[in-house]
């Protein structure tokens, strides 16, 4: 049995245990599964979910309308490129510095 098959098997087991309404200890004993194995696979699947979720994280930055900046075609040449982890962000030179600071703060704390 490969890892993907094991993961599917354990997902079904977690679902069965939840539907039974039994506590983990009792369910494991009745199904001849060690608590250690149950919690090992539970943690492994939870960790893999968090990694997948983290890869698809979006960060929202609010720009107050009074501070919104219209960029002319000439200003598009002057860009600031920030590369962080596996992606890059292009910020126009005339962007408001507090917005850039908030963006960087959110990237560091949420990604």
Examine residue 30 and state whether it is found in any structural domain, yes or no. yes
Domain shared by 37 and 7, yes or no = yes
How many other CB atoms are found less than 10 A from the CB of residue 28?
Answer: 19
Domain shared by 72 and 36, yes or no = no
The residue written with tokens 């600071």 in the block is 101
In this prediction, residues 76-84 reach a mean pLDDT of 67
Strand partners, 88: 83
Domain shared by 16 and 35, yes or no = yes
Examine residue 60 and state whether it is found in any structural domain, yes or no. no
Domain shared by 46 and 18, yes or no = yes
Q: Give tens-digit pLDDT for 35-64.
A: 999 999 999 888 777 656 555 566 676 665
Last residue of a domain, one of 31, 55, 79: 55
Domain shared by 45 and 18, yes or no = yes
* Whether pTM exceeds 0.85: no
Domain total for the chain?
2
Q: Give tens-digit pLDDT for 13-34.
A: 999 999 999 999 999 999 999 9
Residue span of the structural domain in which 31 resides: 3-55
* Structure tokens, 57: 């994280």
Position 78 confidence tier, pLDDT thresholds 50, 70, 90? low
């Amino acid at each position: 049995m490969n890892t993907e098959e094991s993961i599917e098997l354990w997902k079904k087991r977690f679902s069965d245990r939840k539907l039974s309404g039994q506590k983990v200890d009792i369910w494991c004993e009745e199904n001849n599964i060690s608590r250690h194995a149950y919690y090992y696979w539970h943690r492994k699947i939870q960790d893999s979910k968090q990694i997948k979720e983290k890869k698809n994280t979006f960060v929202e930055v609010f720009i107050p309308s009074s501070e919104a900046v219209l960029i002319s075609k000439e200003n598009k040449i002057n860009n600031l490129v920030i590369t962080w982890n596996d992606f890059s962000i292009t910020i126009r030179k005339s962007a408001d510095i507090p917005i850039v600071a908030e963006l960087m703060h959110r990237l560091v704390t949420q990604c």
